[in-house]
Amino acid sequence: MSDTATVPALQEHVHGPLKHQFDDIAQQHEADTLGMWLFLATEVMFFGGMFTGYSIYRSQYHEAFAAASNHLDLLMGTINTGVLIGSSLTMAMAVHAAALGRRRALIICLIATMVLGCGFLGIKAYEYHHKFVENLVPGPNFHFEGNSARETEVFYSFYFAMTGLHAIHMIIGVGILAVLTFYAWWRGFHPQNKHIEITGLYWHFVDIVWIFLFPLLYLVGHHEK
Amino acid sequence: MRELFRFFPDSASSISDAVDALYLWLTTVSTIMTLLIFLAIGYFAIRYRRREPGEVPAPVLGSLRLEILWSVIPFLVMLSFFTWGTYLYFHSQTSPKGGMEVFITGKQWMWKIQHPSGPREINELHVPIGVPVNLTLASEDVIHSFYVPAFRIKKDVVPGRLNRVWFQATKPGKYHLFCAEYCGTEHSGMIGWVYAMERHEYEQWLSGGGGEGSMATRGEKLFQQYGCASCHTMETAGRCPSVRGLYGRQVLLRGGEQVTADDSYLRESILNPRAKIVAGFEPIMPTFQGQINEESLLQIIAYIKSLGVEGGEEVEATKK
Amino acid sequence: MSTVPVEPVVEAPRNYLNASYGVKSWLLTTDHKRIALLYLVTITILFFLGGAFAVMIRLELATPQGDLMTPDTYNKMFTLHGIIMVFFFLVPSIPATLGNFLVPMMIGARDMAFPRINLLSWYVLTIGAVISISAAVMGGVDTGWTFYTPYSTTYSNTYVTLMAVGIFIAGFSSILTGLNFIVTIHTMRAPGLTWFRMPLFIWSHYATAIIIMLGTPVIAITLLLVGAERTLKLGIFDPALGGDPILFQHLFWFYSHPAVYIMVLPAMGVVSELITCFSRKRIFGYSFVALSSVAIAILSFLVWGHHLFVSGQSVYAGMIFSLLSFMVAVPSAIKVFNWTATLYRGSISYDTPMLYAFGFIGLFTIGGLTGLFVATMAIDLHVHDTYFIIAHFHYIMVGGTVMAYMGGLHYWWPKMTGRMYPEGWAKFSALVLFVGFNLTFFPQFILGYLGMPRRYYAYPEEFQVLNVMSSAGATILGVGYLIPLVYLFWSMRYGERASSNPWGATSLEWQTPSPPPTENFTVTPVVTEEAYTYSHEAPEHV
């Protein structure tokens, strides 16, 4: 951004109008970025609580967790991982397009990201449905053939809590992308770069959470075979 | 009614005087510190009170020497609390050998107490003085906390695990037994009495109660009733490991890990057999989660214990 | 800290209070000063609500047997008292009102970095409070504010889930406020205001914000899991379903111990301002006081296990947590000593805020020292979950935080409203509070050591004398809080008009009119000196 810092008109285009509380655009940009990073720090702690709980039970109920993990659909999980990584790529391209001021490319990248995000959620919903049919959703209807039903239920409690929370973050992300696309397309003006950039930070964070969830939930059992 | 005002509860266990001594040391240091701060503030506030509206005192920057002094000295004093407190705590958590056993089950909102030789009581605990008493604590429902102020001991009673605590009463008397962890509606009603008695009175009390046989005998009945005996008592290794002489032994698990067969291990193996599988056996035992209550579990464990402990000694209960 | 001259201070015709009128101008404001007042109104209501529950508790405990209400009602009373006071009063108290008002002004900024998020945080807190209060109205909650499992997940038949949702939502208010503080302090300081020239109030809010950002999400997820366990029958904390109730305690205290410092660090910042202003002295050992706040913030995350000494956790874990708990006492002690040393050779006046500062130091000292008792494992074995604990944390929370909050409110009242409070009444109520507080809570130390467990609806007769003393003290304490409520309201209209700097203080908020204009400063101030430069003489060393 530093090369554009001297041209006020371009500055406004890149960062949006200067808000009254700031002295200059550089200060405003620094505040916005720092704000998002801090927010992500709290998100790490938010997921961290569950990761801690998961790790404790995983070491306590080692075998049951491995067995329960084998009931997850590895293929679907792998596809979803690919889908998400792809969406991170298109998101990064969107940030790049915004920086270059290419509106068309920006819109295409944003839509691609949304489509991939929705694809991920669709596959997730399909997996949830399967677990529901197989009575693997914790609660009164939970039913598991085998001796360690209780531990399996704990595993599935974590599975649903963690992937569910992740899915909520995805839904929020897709919503934000939709608003940005709306601004970029319908309103006929360029959304501010910093919004795309900051949304990008969020989107990548949500992807990274999945990168941790995938091996913890889907792959833990497979070395046992 | 007792005296109107007192600062210490009855002191009636082997550690209570030591806890009081430590408490007095802390109180002394704290009182001196509080007085120092109060007097310094009072003195400065009066000595340096504002005498005319416009006065501006000369600035004082600070002093590295003082900062170090008032960080290090308090910390050293605190280390004395830490060392003493930790030493006493470790002592209070390690039960001496040769004590007697009592089994406590907390249940909303009562204390159920079982003595290995038979007697059972509710909200009352009779113990002899001068003998270490080891308590095994189990909960049927929520977290409770076993608290006897006169003994200065407290231990949470946590569902899903067996906690242990011990004490040795030193003075005969009747002492409060409280539940200290909030456990619902009648939490404040979950109180009882501990009766510390002379040895001979205790023997007398013991012989008066318990017509239904010892805990181990009752455990044996349950052992038959739940069908455990059909498999777990065979002398030669069949489909399941034998429980004879099991208690206190090192058990080799599948995967090479070793665990000691203590109360917690036995409890877990009954409720959740697949958690720790003994090497060389298949996980075929069904779970008994939700089918046996904590009291009965303690009886079954007492029975397994009575089948011999490591080193070949027989427990008293089997001799009878 | 003097600045390049700002415009001469006359009674400013336009200020943030009369800049616009109407309900909408308040509910849609993004001015941090107006938001601070919105918070002030909200948490004052919540404080008196929480206080009303406390009155019920003390009334019931005046006699040993249960007579005024049923045990279930009593259990709900102490639960609601704890929840309202902790999550809806103490956590937001100083940061959301005084902090919101003063952080931008003290660093010479026109507003927070994210004014709309700031307003959002107030709405979030209000929504959380409304949900929690409706849970209370619909039938209450009886788990204690600690929500220990499996009682909260399986056995309680009350509105636990709804209450957890309310607190979960309110947590985001803290997070947003903390985020705003950190970003504002990092990016928006006036020219010349380096980190080590900042008022200590800013340092303490910075440290508080760090704790909020790292701790609050953990309690949020923990309460979410409790709610999920109740509604969806997940089995994470319930032993009957394979879970571990002790895990809940670890997660809960990972936030709730640092939360104690969320409540007391801002209070320490207020006291640093008061002590320096009313003794016209630079703070003794500035960098030690400043950095001790950060040290407290870091260490506070490493001591949660001292709440589990009697839970059956490993004795070695207990030993380490005990040692770390003693270590966190060192930076607190440093602060107390430095405040006291600041008075040395000062020019001390006895205005009401200073009386509160004295009260804070005294009561916080007692609260802190009794903290050493409970950090000592062998003592905790005896006093854990007794009234000793109750007394200890009320000395920190009420004796510490609320005293400082009252002191700060009086000190900055002229700035916030443009009016002076009546000094005579204020001194009188400060005295009433001090007496009432000690009479309420000191007997509880003795009760605790005698062995009276907390959360008891009925208790053995031998504890009655001390309980009656405590209840009597609570009455005095209650009156002590009502008097300021009346005269502060009164002063908003009839109080003497305040000048821009009635106390002769040096920080930036006093260099703009009272009440300040919406943009705080007409000219951005430039800072050329260190904090609390009351005298330009060469400093002495002791």
Domain range summary for chain A, segments of one domain joined by +: 51-224
Query: Which CATH number fits the domain C29-511, given the four candidates 3.90.245.10, 1.10.10.60, 1.20.1090.10, 1.20.210.10?
Result: 1.20.210.10
Residue B258 pLDDT class (50, 70, 90 cuts): confident
Min CA distance, A152 vs chain C (Å)? 9
> Would the CB atoms of B272 and A148 count as touching at under 8 Å?
yes
Phi, psi of B259 (to 5 degrees): -130, 155
Residue A9: per-residue pLDDT? 45
Length of chain C equals 542
Identity of the residue in A46, A57, A60 whose CB atom sits nearest the CB atom of C220: A46
Burial class (CB in 10 A: 0-12, 13-18, 19+), C540: exposed
CB contact under 8 A, A49 and C221: yes
Residues in Cβ contact with C224 at an 8 Å cutoff, skipping those fewer than 6 apart: C164, C168
Q: Are C217 and C175 in contact (CB under 8 A)?
A: yes
Q: What pLDDT shows up at residue B88?
A: 94
Distance CA C182, CA A39 (A): 11
Q: Write the pLDDT tens digit of every residue in C94-130.
A: 999 999 999 999 999 999 999 999 999 999 999 999 9
In Å, how far is A153's CA from the nearest CA of chain C? 7
pLDDT at C291: 94
**Does A199 score more than 80 pLDDT?**
yes
Q: How far is B245 from chain C (nearest CA, A)?
A: 28
Q: Which helix (H) or strand (E) holds A166?
A: helix A149-185
> Across residues C82-89, what is the average pLDDT?
96
Q: Which band of pLDDT confidence, cut at 50, 70 and 90, is reported for residue A189? A: low
* Side chain identity, residue B168: Q
Element (H, E) at A200: helix A193-214
Task: Tell me the mean pLDDT in the region B156-167.
Answer: 92
Mean pLDDT in residue range C304-318: 92
Which pLDDT score is estimated for A99? 82
Using an 8 Å CB-CB cutoff, list chain A residues near B286.
147
pLDDT of A4 above 70: no
Q: Which tokens in the block code for residue C270?
A: 């207020």
> Subunits with at least 3 CB pairs below 8 A relative to chain A?
B, C
The answer to whether residues C405 and C267 touch, using CB atoms and an 8 Å cutoff, is yes
CATH superfamily, domain B225-319, is Cytochrome c-like domain (1.10.760.10)
Task: Please tell me which residue of chain C has the smallest CA distance to A156.
Answer: C234
| Whole-number Å distance between alpha carbons of B6 and B2 | 9
How many Å is the maximal CA-CA distance in chain A? 70
Run of H or E including B155: strand B153-157
For residue C442, how far is the Cα from the chain centroid?
Answer: 21
* Answer CATH for B1-46+95-212 from 3.30.70.360, 2.60.40.420, 1.10.3210.10, 2.60.40.10: 2.60.40.420
Residue C179 to residue A35, Cβ atoms within 8 A: yes
Residue of chain A whose Cα is closest to the Cα of C220: A46
Predicted TM-score (pTM) of the model is 0.88
How does residue B311 score in pLDDT terms, banded at 50, 70 and 90? very low
pLDDT tens readout for residues C420-463: 999 999 999 999 999 999 999 999 999 999 999 999 999 999 99
pLDDT of residue C148: 94
Rounded Cα distance, B101 and B135, in Å: 6
- Chain C residue with CA closest to B148: the answer is C451
% pLDDT > 90, chain C: 85
Write out the H or E segment, with its range, that includes residue B179: strand B173-179
* Token digits of residue A95: 């940030």
Contact across the interface for B272 and A63, Cβ inside 8 Å: no
- Nearest of A34, A24, A15 to residue A195 by alpha carbon: A15
Mutate to test the interface with A, among B270, B272, B281, B284 (most CBs of A within 10 A): B272
d(CA C5, CA B223): 90
**Using a CB-CB distance cutoff of 8 angstroms, which residues of chain A are in contact with residue B287?**
147, 149-150
Quickly state the pLDDT bin for B313 (edges 50, 70, 90): very low
* pLDDT confidence band for B227 (50 / 70 / 90): confident
Give the CA count within 13 Å in the CB-facing half-sphere of B104. 28
Is there a common fold for B1-46+95-212 and B225-319? no
- In three-state secondary structure terms, C97 is helix
Q: Which of residues 138-167 of C touch B (CB under 8 A)?
A: 142-144, 146, 148, 150-151, 154-156
Average pLDDT over residues C149-161: 91
Please tell me the predicted confidence (pLDDT) of residue C240: 80
Phi-psi region of A106 (alpha: psi -120 to 50; beta: other; left: phi over 0): alpha
User: What one-character DSSP code corresponds to residue C348?
Assistant: B
Q: Looking at A66-70, A170-174, B101-105, C115-119, which range is the least confident one?
A: A66-70
Among candidates A176, A194, A183, A193, which has minimal Cα distance to A31?
Answer: A194
Higher pLDDT residue, C168 or A190? Answer: C168
The domain spans of chain B are 1-46+95-212, 225-319
Q: Which of residues B66 and B318 earns the better pLDDT score?
A: B66
pLDDT of residue B315: 40
In angstroms, the CA A56 to CA A50 distance is 10
| CB-count exposure of residue B196 (10 Å: 0-12, 13-18, 19+) | buried
Residue B137 dihedral angles phi and psi, to the nearest 5°: -115, 125
pLDDT of residue C39: 96
- Using 50, 70 and 90 to split pLDDT, how confident is the model at B3? low
**What is the per-residue pLDDT for C1?**
45
Residue of A63, A151, A152, A155 to mutate, testing the B interface (most B Cβ within 10 Å of its Cβ): A63
Q: How far apart are CA A148 and CA C235, in angstroms?
A: 13
Q: Find out whether B175 and C277 touch, Cβ atoms under 8 Å.
A: no
**pLDDT top residue among C4 and C256:** C256
**Tokens encoding C245:** 């109730």
SS3 state of residue A191? coil
* A104 close to B (CB below 8 A): no
B118 vs A78: which has the higher pLDDT: A78
Query: What tokens were used for C466?
Result: 């001390």
Mean predicted confidence (pLDDT) in C342-365 = 95
Percent of chain C past pLDDT 70, that is, above it, reads 97
> With 90 as the cut, is the pLDDT of residue C200 above it?
yes
Contacts of A144 in chain C (CB under 8 A): none
Is B178 in Cβ contact with C150 (below 8 Å)?
no
Neighbours of chain B (3+ CB pairs under 8 A): A, C
Average pLDDT, integer, range A80-97: 93
CATH of A51-224, one of 1.10.1760.20, 1.20.120.80, 1.10.1050.10, 3.40.720.10: 1.20.120.80
Q: Which residues of B touch A (CB under 8 A)?
A: 272-275, 283, 285-287, 289
Between the CA of residue C102 and those of A19, C59, C157, C311, C363, what are the distances in Å?
A: 20, 39, 44, 42, 25
pLDDT category at C190 given cuts 50, 70, 90 is very high
Q: What is the dihedral of CA A32, A38, A44, A49, to 10 degrees?
A: -140
